Amino acid sequence: MVNATDVVWEPEIVSGCFMLFRTDVLKALGGFDSRYFLYFEDYDLSLRTHDVARVAYVPAIMIRHYGGGAARKGMRHVRLFATSAFRFFNRFGWKWL
């Protein structure tokens, strides 16, 4: 069980609503992959990070996000999501479904 004081080392994949990187690690990774315009770019980066550094999930760190209007919903949203999902699953495998 994970609680606020735990640190989970090497989770398989993490969502990137808030990520911290050492500069050298982010440079080695080349940052976010620009082929993901929206959605799945964080999953891609988290999986690639395992090749060059340790990954940790620290639930005690909390970030509050105000807003949510950056990604308006609609057919364009669905298309962007589907395009990024297809690209991600073709690259890393469909086991993540």
Confidence bin at 49 (pLDDT 50/70/90): very high
Q: Is the dihedral of CA 5, 8, 52, 81 positive or negative?
A: negative
Report the pLDDT averaged over residues 21-38: 93
Confidence bin at 95 (pLDDT 50/70/90): confident
| DSSP 8-state class, residue 80 | H
- DSSP element (H, E) containing 57: strand 56-57
pLDDT for residue 48 is more than 90: yes
Report the pLDDT averaged over residues 22-29: 96
Where along the chain do its domains lie? Answer: 8-62+70-96
Computed over every residue of the chain, the mean pLDDT equals: 87
